[in-house]
Amino acid sequence: MFQFNRCFSTGLVSLFLLTGSACESSGSIDGQGVLPDGGTNVDTQIAVDTSPPAPDTNKPAADTSTPQPVGSSCAALAASMGIPADLDTPDLYDVVATYADLPVAETWSFESDLDIRTLAPEFIEVYGVTRIYTPRSPKGISTFTNPSGDNLTWTGEEVVVAETPTERYGHPYGATAPDGTFYLFMQVKDAQQDMGPPGNKGPQPLTVSVSTSTDGETFTDPEPALNCTDTGIEACAHGRITKLDNGCYLMAVSASVARKHWQPLPWLHDDKSQNPTYIPGNILALSDNLKDWTFTGTYFRGCHDPTFIQDDDRFSLVCHNESSNSLIRFDSTNGLDFNPLQPTGRVAILAPGGESMTEHGPSLQLTFGDIDWHAFPDGSDRLFVSVNENAGIPGQVKPTVWSFIRSD
C-alpha cells in the first residue's frame, strides 16, 4: 500500500505554501514528458552502499513495489530517473494536443460549497488535528479546523504565516519530517511587482519558501526552499507532497511559470518560437528529509496544480490543463514510473446541476484550477477544487472551494 501524506497510520502530514496564486487569473503551469539526460547539476559523487544487507529473520520482507533507497539515497534514485535538461522538446508539446480528446477515466460530483473566500487550500492532518492551510491575501497563510468532524465546515481562522511588505504567500502544501517537524512550503511572489493590467505587467517570478512548526500553529519565518533555477527550471511554484513506501518523499511541483506570457498563445507545438516560453508544467522531485530535494527528469507539460490520488490498485497524479479546461490523470505503479507522454484520461468534475465543468463551465460562469485530494480519518475521501463563481462578471467574481465525491 502506498503511504501518502494523508496516510494516518504513519502520522504523516503534508503541506506546502505558495505565494502569488496563479489561480487568481486561472493561470496554469504546464508540462509533460520524461526529459532526456543532459544536465550536470546533480552531484554524481554520492556514495551508495550497494552491498546486500545481512538477512534479518526477525523482520518482514521488504516491500519491493517501490525501488528501495540505500541509506540517504533518495537523491541518487532521483538522478537515476533522468535530469531536467530540455523542457521544450517537440514531443512534450505534442502530447498536450491530445488532452482535450482523452476519455474520461473517473468522475466526481459536486457535494458542497465550503464558502471560504480563498483558492488553493491544502487539507491535512497535523499532529492529530485535521486542518486547512490556505492563502488569505493580504493576511498571509491561514489555518482552519473542522470541530464538527463533518469534513465540510471549517472555522476558527488563524493566520500562521503573515505576509510582509515585500512578499506575498500562497498555495500551501507540506509534510512531516522523520524527526516530527512539520514543513510548510509556500509559493512566493514579489509584493512590489507591477500588478497592473495584463498588457502592462511582465512575468512575475515565483519561488518556493518553507516554514517549520512543532504544533501546526506557530511557524518560523519563511526561508528559500527549492533551488529550481540551478537545475535549468525557470521557476517553481505550487505543489503537493506524499511519502513513498521506500521512505522517500515525492513532490510534484509546478515549474517554469516565470516564462509564461500574459498574452496567451495557442497551446500546441506549432513552430511558434514564443510557445516554449509560455507553456509551463509540473515536475517530480525526491527527498529523504524534506530539506534537500533532487529534481527528476519526469516533467508533465501543459499540466500544473498537481495532486496525488491513491486507490487500492493505483497511484495517480492529477493536474489541471488550462487550454482544454480539464483535469488530466497520469498513473504509476509506485510513484516513480510515471510516463508523462501517456496520460490515462481526464478526470470529470460535475457542477451542482450535473453539468460537466469542462464542457459547460464557461456557460455556467465557472472557472476552476487548483485541486487537492484528501483521505480523512473516517475513511471518506474528497476532491477539493478552487472555483471562481460569476467568472467574467466584473466586480462579482467569487473565489471559493467546492468539495466533490466519487460518482463512479
Q: Return the domain boundaries, the chain.
A: 15-34+68-406
The alpha carbons of the chain give a radius of gyration, in whole angstroms, of 20
pLDDT the model gives residue 190: 81
pLDDT the model gives residue 272: 39
* Residue 181: φ, ψ to 5°: -75, 135
Q: Which CATH number describes the domain made up of 15-34+68-406?
A: 2.115.10.20
Alpha-carbon span 237 to 18, nearest angstrom:
6
**125: CB partners within 8 A, 6+ apart:** 6, 8, 11, 13, 131, 377
pLDDT the model gives residue 28: 33
Q: What is the pLDDT along the chain (408 residues), one digit of tens a residue?
A: 444 333 333 333 333 333 333 333 333 333 333 333 333 333 333 343 444 444 444 444 444 456 655 445 899 999 888 877 655 566 666 788 889 899 999 999 999 999 988 888 999 999 999 999 999 988 999 999 999 999 999 999 999 999 998 899 999 999 999 999 999 999 998 876 644 444 444 456 688 999 999 999 999 999 999 877 767 677 788 899 999 999 999 999 988 744 444 344 444 433 434 444 445 788 999 999 999 999 998 989 888 899 999 888 889 999 999 888 899 999 999 999 999 999 999 999 999 999 999 999 989 999 998 999 999 999 999 999 999 999 989 999 999 999 999 997
Alpha-carbon span 303 to 127, nearest angstrom:
32
Residues facing 159 on adjacent strands: 142
Q: Are 191 and 174 in contact (CB under 8 A)?
A: no
Q: Are 12 and 175 in contact (CB under 8 A)?
A: yes
Using the structure block, give the residue that is written with the C-alpha cell 463512479. Answer: 408
Q: Give residue 271's region: left, alpha or beta (phi > 0; psi -120 to 50).
A: left
